[in-house]
């Protein structure tokens, strides 16, 4: 179900989500909730030996949420995910 947001609110939501995802890089527990209120990733302990796999999990959950809940294009989703995980 698409949430009908103004472009300004949608941009704000995407920026906030990217910032939250970026903060997971140093977290001991991976927990991600979209600014729209939906849970994207339930609390999961961060394990250093699984860092790449957990990063992939977070990316796929963000992609699925943005595609299914917000019905964003793959192009916009790629931009948000790449900015969220840029070093």
Domain limits for position 82: 49-87
> Domain total for the chain?
1
Q: Is residue 5 part of a domain?
A: no
Dihedral over Cα of 75, 63, 85, 57: its sign? negative
Task: Please check whether residue 17 lies inside any domain of the structure.
Answer: no
37 falls within a domain: no
| pLDDT at res. 10 | 87
Q: Give the whole-angstrom CA distance, residue 60 versus residue 49.
A: 19
Predicted structure pTM score: 0.87
Give the separation between CA 41 and CA 60, rounded to whole angstroms.
10
User: How would you write the pLDDT of the chain (87 residues) with one tens digit per residue?
Assistant: 455 678 888 899 999 999 999 999 889 999 999 999 999 999 999 998 998 899 999 999 999 999 999 999 999 999 999 988 887
């Amino acid at each position: 179900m698409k949430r009908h947001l103004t472009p300004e609110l949608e941009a704000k939501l995407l920026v906030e989500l990217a910032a939250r995802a970026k903060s997971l890089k140093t977290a001991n527990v991976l927990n991600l909730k979209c600014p729209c209120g939906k849970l994207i990733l339930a609390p999961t302990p961060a394990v250093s030996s699984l860092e790449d796999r957990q990063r992939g999990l977070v990316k796929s959950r963000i992609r699925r949420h943005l595609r299914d809940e917000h019905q964003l294009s793959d192009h916009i989703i790629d931009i948000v995910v790449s900015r969220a995980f840029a070093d």
